[in-house]
Amino acid sequence: MATNDFLPFGTGAGANVLDQASWAALQARQTGFQAGIAQSPQLNKTWRQAAFMAAMIGQFMADLTGQDVLDDGDMAQKLAIFEAAIRSQSLNYIVAGGTATAMTLSLDPAPTDYSAIIGTPLRIVVPLASTGPATLNVNALGARPVRYPRDSEIAAGDWGASELIEVVLDAGQVFRFRRVFSPMDISTLGAIPRGAQIFTSTGSIIVPPNVFRMRARVWGGGGGGGGSNAGWAGGGGGGGGYAEGFFAVTPGQSIPVTVGGGGGAAGGNGGAGGTSSFGAFCSASGGDGGLGGFGNLGTRGLGGTGTGGAINLSGSPGNSGGGNNDRLGGAGGAAPFGGSGTWFGTSVGGQSNSPGGGGGGSANGNTPAPGSPGLVIVEW
């Protein structure tokens, strides 16, 4: 707990202070003590009023910022702490309990009735995804409906589990709801993330403090190109799939992240690219490998697919081996927003591009190209 050096004075039972009526009538409040002996009850009243307010403001600063408020004469620092306390609005940030349709929360200090919080914005981390009309009960004062500003009811999917929303109680004692940000607001939240982590290999991420929603962009690995023998050509590998979305998370939660490898190219059929994923939220499968061309023209590998995201896209398929007199290894397919496809080659397979590009097939017994590995980008 933060320290507050500014302590109250003369607040004990039976303290030797002037009564309020005498204080209000005291001429010295206007002129100050001019001459003679100032009585201790008068001075104690003066000191108590000043010390009491200083102690209260100091405690407010310490409680809301967690910083020590020290009696060291540093005015600039105290002003900075006071401004931080005002800016924090932490008294109105609450994690709610209850159910999806009957939420509960407790404010501290507790309001005595709902009139005390009319017009006060409350930022709430909801317990569960919405399923229909909802109510909110603050400090057991009684359930009140939660509705949109134009009085439409809450519907299923209006907010997700652990999403941050804002409600304001109106004069009719209806909590009016709006999202603090929408799970589909890609143009806003996606453009200005507070933090990001890029995964080029499998790992995990710990959700930072005060983060309740993350954006994940996931690419699967590209398929490897098919091999060939003299006079023939292999097919190109397919591009990895792609998934993207915003997902409700909990601070401190550990989320596994898998990055799929690129499909191998050992000279026969190309290997499939690996699947990438962001926990159980979304995943993108790898592209299929191109088939080898041995006495024939190898066929292309199909692209991978995305699942679980708000955006789910398939990678481009590779191209089958081709050519008449001059055999051409099939080009690899591209991954959406990721690695581009490769070129047709008359010898070795065209090299894939990251993330998730498919490797090119070889021609005339040369070496095909492997697919590129996938990628996962997490923003918050």
Closest C-alpha among 361, 351, 348, 344 to residue 296: 361
Closest C-alpha among 135, 209, 215 to residue 181: 215
Least confident of 13-27, 92-106, 223-237, 335-349: 335-349
Question: Do both 73 and 104 map to the same domain?
Answer: no
What is the distance between the alpha carbons of residues 290 and 298, in angstroms, rounded to a whole number?
7
Question: Do both 192 and 307 map to the same domain?
Answer: yes
Last residue of a domain, one of 71, 91, 111: 91
Question: Do both 161 and 306 map to the same domain?
Answer: no
Question: Do both 349 and 254 map to the same domain?
Answer: yes
For residue 215, list its beta bridge partners.
246, 379
Question: Do both 85 and 106 map to the same domain?
Answer: no
Average pLDDT, the chain: 88
Domain extent, residue 43, equals 1-30+38-91
Indicate if the pLDDT at residue 171 is higher than 70: yes
pLDDT in tens, 200-242: 999 999 998 878 889 999 999 999 999 999 999 999 999 999 9
Last residue of a domain, one of 47, 67, 91: 91
- Kind and range of the H or E run holding 54: helix 40-65
Question: Do both 67 and 174 map to the same domain?
Answer: no
Last residue of a domain, one of 91, 106, 136: 91
Residue with tokens 């590129």: 372
Least confident of 274-283, 321-330, 363-372: 321-330
Question: Do both 138 and 212 map to the same domain?
Answer: no
Under DSSP, the state recorded for 179 is: E
Question: Do both 275 and 308 map to the same domain?
Answer: yes
Query: What is the rounded average pLDDT of the residues 2-28?
Result: 90
Indicate if the pLDDT at residue 291 is higher than 50: yes
Locate 216 and state its tokens: 């994940």
Number of domains in the chain: 3
242: Cβ contacts below 8 Å, ≥ 6 apart = 217, 218, 219, 220, 284, 306, 311, 312, 313, 314, 315, 335, 336, 337, 338, 356
What is the distance between the alpha carbons of residues 295 and 92, in angstroms, rounded to a whole number?
73
Q: Among residues of the chain, what percentage have pLDDT more than 90? A: 54
pLDDT in tens, 319-367: 998 887 788 888 999 999 888 766 677 778 778 888 999 999 999 999 9
Question: Do both 103 and 162 map to the same domain?
Answer: yes
